[in-house]
Chain A
Amino acid sequence: MNIDAGATLTALLTLFGIYGLIALSLNLEYGVAGIPNFGKALFVSIGAYTTGVTYTRLLPLLAGQEAVSPCGMTLSTALQLRTAIMRDLPGIGFVNFAVTIAIAMGVGAVVGCLMSYAALRLRQEWFLALVLLVGSEIVRIFVRGYEPIICASNGVSGIAQPFFFIRDARLNSIMFMLLILIMLLVVYVYVERLVRSPYGRLLRAVRENAEVAQAMGKNVAQIRAGVMAIGSAIAAAAGVLFALNVGFVSTNDYDVALTLDIWVMVVLGGLGNPRGALLGALLITLLDRFTGIAAIQLNRTGIALEFNYFRYILLGVILLLMLRFRPRGLLPERRHATLAYQALESQAAESTGDRG
């Protein structure tokens, strides 16, 4: 089998778009505001589980069809039903997609907000990291054991992306990729603007010294809740795309390993700099693809070595090297991000102009 360059590139950019979104959200939460969200997988999974629910329940409803339980005996009937709708009724597919994104972002925002209030009760700073990490696993175990959400450990398959109605597989995946990249661009511009605004300044102040920020009249708990809500909504939207991209919702995709991947991206790219998050996402996605391709090639030459192991070791080494030698990442946070500096510089220019 030859490697199809076009398809590889499409798949690569699609993944980059999804990881980029998640990395942007963590960059905002940890890089800018200093909240150690070690539960990133939870917020991504909220998007995915929402997808699992809407594509099996809401979709047939929107199409005016009889609801069929997606689990158990009627599993394959339900699968055929939703595949048929996505293929033949693109309008309904899009509506369902939009509704899914909206619900996911809403639920994500609410959960993110609530989790941030846990921090108020915690004594030591790293407890929050642990609570988020553990909370993420609890939800995963619960969803895995509780059938009504995504059929427990069986998961839900046949989750089609909105361009599925285009018969040409290549074209529809390119369209999906474009959709994701557009969303990435929108979110990037949004986060970049936040970082450069007085709001960004506020978040950085909370990161540096929450006690002093509070003494400067800032409601720290509310600010943290707000930024967690924004970050979690972005992550949940990315979770919807994640599920649509693999076409399958299963609890196994959203464990601590996903959280760690995102952390590596953000630490590698640059804390507090949205461009850094994108760079990190790109590099790690590329690394993934290359190790994947290399593994296939190696296996063909008969070396039976599990390449995945090297991937994780490599991630660990990258993380350690960055933390030790470039703790601010490849693209560090910019110091003069806000408009205030331009105001002062232009004033300075004017006054020298007046004298001249």
Chain B
Amino acid sequence: MSALLQLRNIRKDFGGLRAVDDVSFEVERGKIVGLVGPNGSGKSTLIDVISGTIEPTMGQVIFDGRDITGKPPNTIFEYGLSRGFQEPGLFFQMTALDNTLLPVKNQRGERPTAAPWRRLWHAQEEKNALEAHNALARMEIAAQYDKLASDLSGGQMKLLEMARALMGSPTMMLLDEPTAGVAPKLAHNIFNHINALNKHFGITFLIVEHRLELLFEHVDAVIVMHMGSILAIDTPDAITSNAAVREVYLGD
């Protein structure tokens, strides 16, 4: 069977600046893959391209056997590819529970024609609410369910983002720096959760991360980017001893 996510010769230009240059790689189903590289090397841009937030200048993105290049983000989400944001992309003036309920697919009560009639969606909503509560519990933030997202701590926000993504029952999650601005202990915790989701639900992950040691403990493969292109793709161990990568990162 072919890989879950395939990138073919992706290029993205911002005016004269080539942020991503001829990037191709594959992510196998069920794997956790890290995406690393110095600041400005084009990681976030690549995530934006895959998730449909921006269109690539050139190239193709294939997900689950479908060509998703240039499809709008909502459609790509429907196909089972979910993304997190580098800045927490929460609905800050909504509660944790409301945040978690939003991505649930096929909600009858979200249709303006059905919404006024409670009996049409009431059973589904109750079921979703319990599931959402379970998702929050899985991330250990169930007690905060009726707090506004803006009142949560930085780490809890990241956990809430993952609980929310989980409710969209994705096949694959793209995470952009899931531990940015989080205390080291909680960072460990977040990666343990990622691992658990991978084991339990078979969710595939592509993770942009700066804490390399932590990342390397959990991933099956690492992609290194530098100035828009791919420098190396290998196992964590091989990457650690890769001379070209060491040069970019450590200058030796």
CA A205 to CA B97, docked complex, whole Å: 13
CA A343 to CA B125, docked complex, whole Å: 8
Residues of B within 8 A of A344 (CB): 97, 129-130, 133, 145
Of the listed stretches B58-66, B108-116, B187-195, name the one at the interface; the rest are far from the partner chain. B108-116
Interface contact A197-B109, CB-CB below 8 Å = yes
Residues of A within 8 A of B108 (CB): 198
**Chain A residues numbered 198-245 whose CB sits less than 8 Å from any CB in chain B:** 198-202, 204-205, 208-209, 211-220, 226-227, 230
Interface contact B133-A197, CB-CB below 8 Å = no
Interface presence of B40 (CB below 8 A): no
Given A193-B115, A344-B130, the answer on whether A219 and B148 have CB atoms closer than 8 Å is: no
Q: Which has the most chain B C-beta neighbours within 10 Å: A194, A197, A213, A218? A: A197
Interface contact B129-A209, CB-CB below 8 Å = no
- Smallest Cβ distance from A270 to chain B, in angstroms? 14
**Chain A residues numbered 306-354 whose CB sits less than 8 Å from any CB in chain B:** 335-336, 338-341, 343-344, 347
Given A198-B107, A201-B101, the answer on whether A339 and B89 have CB atoms closer than 8 Å is: no
Q: Which has the most chain A C-beta neighbours within 10 Å: B93, B109, B128? A: B109
Interface contact A199-B115, CB-CB below 8 Å = yes
Encoded as 1 (CB less than 8 Å from any A CB) or 0, chain B from 100 to 130 comes to 0111010111111001101001100110111
Interface contact B102-A216, CB-CB below 8 Å = yes
Q: A197's contact among B105, B116, B129, by CB below 8 Å, is which?
A: B116
Encoded as 1 (CB less than 8 Å from any A CB) or 0, chain B from 35 to 78 comes to 00000000000000001010000000000000000001110011
Given A340-B125, A340-B129, the answer on whether A335 and B148 have CB atoms closer than 8 Å is: yes
Interface presence of B83 (CB below 8 A): yes
Interface presence of A127 (CB below 8 A): no
CA A220 to CA B118, docked complex, whole Å: 23
Interface contact A343-B130, CB-CB below 8 Å = yes
Residues of A within 8 A of B216 (CB): none
CA A341 to CA B102, docked complex, whole Å: 14
Q: How large is the interface on A (under 10, 10 to 19, 20 to 34, 35 or more residues)?
A: 35 or more
CA A200 to CA B145, docked complex, whole Å: 18
Given A218-B74, A339-B122, A343-B129, the answer on whether A212 and B90 have CB atoms closer than 8 Å is: yes
- Smallest Cβ distance from B53 to chain A, in angstroms? 7
Interface contact A214-B115, CB-CB below 8 Å = no
Interface presence of A190 (CB below 8 A): yes
Q: Which has the most chain B C-beta neighbours within 10 Å: A217, A218, A219? A: A217
Q: B112's contact among A194, A216, A340, by CB below 8 Å, is which?
A: A194
Residues of B within 8 A of A202 (CB): 102, 110
- Smallest Cβ distance from A169 to chain B, in angstroms? 37
Interface presence of B146 (CB below 8 A): yes
Interface contact A215-B53, CB-CB below 8 Å = yes
**Chain A residues numbered 73-111 whose CB sits less than 8 Å from any CB in chain B:** none
- Smallest Cβ distance from B115 to chain A, in angstroms? 4
Residues of B within 8 A of A214 (CB): 72-74
Interface presence of B244 (CB below 8 A): no
Which partner residue on chain B sits nearest A226 by CB separation?
B112
CA A340 to CA B123, docked complex, whole Å: 10
CA A335 to CA B73, docked complex, whole Å: 28
Interface contact B105-A217, CB-CB below 8 Å = yes
CA A343 to CA B122, docked complex, whole Å: 10
Residues of B within 8 A of A213 (CB): 91, 102
Interface contact B97-A341, CB-CB below 8 Å = yes
Which partner residue on chain A sits nearest B95 by CB separation?
A335
Which partner residue on chain B sits nearest A200 by CB separation?
B115
CA A260 to CA B166, docked complex, whole Å: 43
CA A120 to CA B122, docked complex, whole Å: 33
- Smallest Cβ distance from A205 to chain B, in angstroms? 5
CA A17 to CA B10, docked complex, whole Å: 58
**Chain A residues numbered 174-203 whose CB sits less than 8 Å from any CB in chain B:** 190, 193-194, 197-202
Q: B109's contact among A198, A218, A341, A343, by CB below 8 Å, is which?
A: A198
Interface contact A341-B74, CB-CB below 8 Å = no
Interface contact B115-A198, CB-CB below 8 Å = yes
On A, residues with C-beta under 8 Å from B are 190, 193-194, 197-202, 204-205, 208-209, 211-220, 226-227, 230, 335-336, 338-341, 343-344, 347
Q: Would you mind naming 24 contact pairs between A and B with Cβ atoms under 8 Å apart?
A: A193-B118, A194-B112, A194-B115, A197-B115, A198-B121, A199-B110, A201-B102, A201-B110, A208-B91, A208-B92, A214-B74, A215-B85, A219-B72, A335-B95, A335-B148, A339-B122, A340-B101, A340-B125, A340-B126, A340-B132, A343-B126, A343-B129, A343-B130, A344-B130
14 further A-B pairs in the complex, CB-CB below 8 A; given A198-B110, A219-B74, A335-B146: A197-B115, A197-B121, A198-B101, A198-B125, A205-B94, A208-B94, A211-B53, A214-B73, A217-B77, A335-B95, A336-B95, A340-B97, A340-B132, A341-B97
